[in-house]
Amino acid sequence: MSKQWKHFMIGALTMLILLVSGFLLFSETGKISTRSPSNSLNPTIPSDTVIIKPLPPLLILRGTDVAFEGKAEFKQAIAGRFAQNIVITNFQATGNNAEKSMIKIVWENGQIEKIYPGTTDKRILSNQRAVDISILGYSMHERRIFKDSSRKGTLTWEIRYEPVEL
């Protein structure tokens, strides 16, 4: 019985030594410093180097087949205080009298611009900055004598703009 106990202890100590030596070996390799880059590189920039200026960030307001009933207004959150260089990539509306749907842009001077469905790739490049952008959906069955009744419709839009912080 004592002979089996000795073999067990020898095996356990061997495994312990292997684990500790493996840990020390791998922890030392993490401390080895990498070779620093050589100082022989020329810090001056050659005259024929092309300098790339980053483009201003363009943000996208998008809605795809957004369902609504009757009259609906979807205010769009603008990053920053204003939006400028607005491009309406796509604006489509479906439903009864869908042609009365619109994108409403309120400029900082209070002027309102309306853009109707079917518009694609319209650029609004002006010195004005937009304060508010809303998507207005309209899908109503209009009757002369009786009250108008709501109908289902969908809106799809994509608006790109450049945010402005002041």
Domain boundaries, the chain: 1-31, 59-164
Q: What is the pTM of this model?
A: 0.63
Say whether pLDDT at 1 is over 90.
no
Tell the CATH topology of 59-164: Jelly Rolls (2.60.120)
pLDDT in tens, 78-103: 988 999 999 999 999 999 999 999 99
Binned at pLDDT 50, 70 and 90, residue 43 comes out as low
The amino acid that residue 74 corresponds to is: F
Binned at pLDDT 50, 70 and 90, residue 3 comes out as low
Say whether pLDDT at 110 is over 80.
yes
